[in-house]
Amino acid sequence: MPVIAMTQEMGSLAKDVALELAASLNLAVMRHEVIEHVAGKMNVPKSLISRLREGKAGLVERFTSDERSVAVYTAEEMFALADGGNVVLRGWGATCLLRPVPHVVCVRVTRSLRKRVEWLMGELQTDDAEFAESEVRRSDEAHASRMHERFGVRWGDPVLYDLVLNTDRVSVESCVEQISRLTSRPEFAETTDSHALLDNLTLQARVRAALKEHAPTRDIDITVEAGNGRVVLYGIVVNAEERTQAKSVVAAVSGVAGVDNQLKVMARSKLFTSGR
C-alpha cells in the first residue's frame, strides 16, 4: 500500500509527476480533499484557505484567520488519507508530517526559476516575464514561511526528502520511474510496526482536531500521544472544568479505547490589592 508524499512548487512539474505516478501505480491522488476538509471544518470559503496558502491573503484576512486551526485540520486530513494507503499526497506539508513513517516515500520535485517562470507565462498566456517571476517568488516565499512556522525547517532542504528530482534535467517519465522503483525497495516496505506508527499519528491528529472543534477545549495547548487506541494527555490547563472537558472530548473520538488524563491544573495566584 504505497504512500508517496511530494512537494508542491509552482512550475516544477510536480503535478504532472504526481498524476502520471498515480496512473502508473494505480494510486489515488490527492486533489481537493484537504482544502474542502479544512474550509468545511473552519466554516470559511475554500478561496480563503487558498489565498492563505499562496500568500495572497490581505492583511485583515491574515490577521483574523486562525492559522493554528488550519494546521490542525490539515494534519487530520493528511494523516487520514495516508492511513488509507495507495495514495500520492502533494503539498500541504505532507513530506514533513509523514516523514516519521518509515514506509512513506518523501520526494521533492524542483526546477530552475527560469523554467518555472517560462511555464507560468505559458499557463497565463502572457509575455510579462517580470510579473510571472514575481508570482513564482511570492508563492515560494509563502511556502517557505509556512514550512518554517509549522515545522521549524528550511523549505527545500534536501535532507528532508528521500529523493530530489530536477525536471530541468529529468523528464516526467523518468521521475515516475525513479519514484516507482523507490517504493518497491525493502527500505520502504510497509511493516506491522510502520503501519502501527501511522495509525497512532492518525489518531493523534484526529484527537487534536476534536479538541479544536469543541468550544470549551478550542484554545487549550496540550500534548497528545496515542498508542494502540490509548491516548495520553499532557500539559497545563486553566481549571478543573477544562481538564474534565478535555478528557470527555477525547474519550468520544472514534478509535480511542482509553484516556490517561495527565493534565495539570494551573495553580491560582494570590491577588493583592494595589498600594499594600
> Which parts of the chain sit beneath pLDDT 50?
269-276
Q: Which amino acid is at 51?
A: R
CA dist 263 and 96 (Å) reads 28
Report the pLDDT value the prediction gives residue 117, as an integer from 0 to 100: 97
| Grid coordinates given for 107 | 520526494
| pLDDT for 60 | 60
Distance of CA 237 to the CA centre of its chain: 26
CB 233 within 8 A of CB 247: yes
Which residues are CB-neighbours of 10 under 8 A, at least 6 positions away?
116, 120, 135, 136, 139, 140
Give me the pLDDT at residue 77, please.
93
pTM for the whole thing? 0.87
Q: Which residue has the cell 528530482?
A: 165
pLDDT value of position 67: 81
